[in-house]
Structure formats: structure tokens, C-alpha cells
Amino acid sequence: MAVKKINGSEQITVQTGVPINQASVSLTAQAAALAGQSIIASLPASGMYRVSWAAKVTQAATTSSALGGANGFQVIYTDATDSTAAVTSPAVAGAPTGNVLTTQWSGVVIINGKTATAVTCNFGYTSVGGTAMQYAIQIKIETVG
């Protein structure tokens, strides 16, 4: 075990780089796309972060739906290398269109985030029919180095 100072506070880490959970978001009963959803307001230090997400249909649409819609899951952050805004998406096949309660989609994105900047996300949504598809999504950001 090692003690590492992050944003002025001491956090216990494992020297081999075991991730530290920085923030978690859990949303339920979502019936629209997410745009600019906050994951963390201020990164504690510049470096590599892993953003993991898992979404699941919790109410099927009357006709059809696509979990993640046309744009899927996107992470918006400021890159530590050159301080530019960046948008990234995981290399995952297209949005699932199962429209059943067993439809689930997840992924991981690694970013090189800058100290004291926010990380947000977008998540697409497509639903057709009188009853709208609803979903739950969990998002986590962890320090990986």
C-alpha cells in the first residue's frame, strides 16, 4: 500500500496501480437521451481515467427502441496533454435494438484528463410507439494512473 496526495488529501493506493473510484452516477427511469450529464465536476489530478458504463432497458417501447440511439455513449473531457476539449466513444458495435427487458449495453473508455476539469457524457436514445422505452444507466470514473 502507498499513500498518494490527490487534490491536497491523502488517499491509499496500491503501488501497482489499482484504480481509485472518483465518482459514480446511477440513473433510473430514463426516457430520453442524456446530453452533458455530469460524471465528475473536477478531476483531482491530470492522468489516465477509466470511464465504465452499463445501460439496460427497464421498460420496452410499444414498437421498437435502440438503447444508446444513433450516437451511443460519448465522453466529453479536457485532455491533459494539450488542454483541448475531446469527445470519445468506446469501440463497441452499434446500439442494441432488442426492445426487451434483457437488452443491455456496456463499455469502457480510457481518457487522459486534465486536473480540475469536468467530465460529462452523452447517451443516445431512440424509442417508437405510444409507450416509451425506459432505461437505467450506471457510470463510474476511476483513476488508473
Residue spans of the domains in the chain: they are 2-143
Q: Is the pLDDT of residue 14 over 70?
A: no
Q: Is the pLDDT of residue 13 over 50?
A: yes
Pairing of strands 119-128, 64-78: antiparallel
Average pLDDT, the chain: 88
Distance, in Å, from the CA atom of 143 to the CA atom of 122, rounded to the nearest integer, reads 21
Task: Count Cα neighbours of 106 within 13 Å in the Cβ-side half-sphere.
Answer: 11
pLDDT digits (tens, 9 = 90+) for 92-105: 556 788 889 999 99
Closest CA to 25 of 120, 101, 104: 120
Q: Is the pLDDT of residue 2 over 70?
A: no
CATH of 2-143, one of 3.30.1950.10, 2.60.120.1310, 3.40.50.720, 3.40.50.1970: 2.60.120.1310
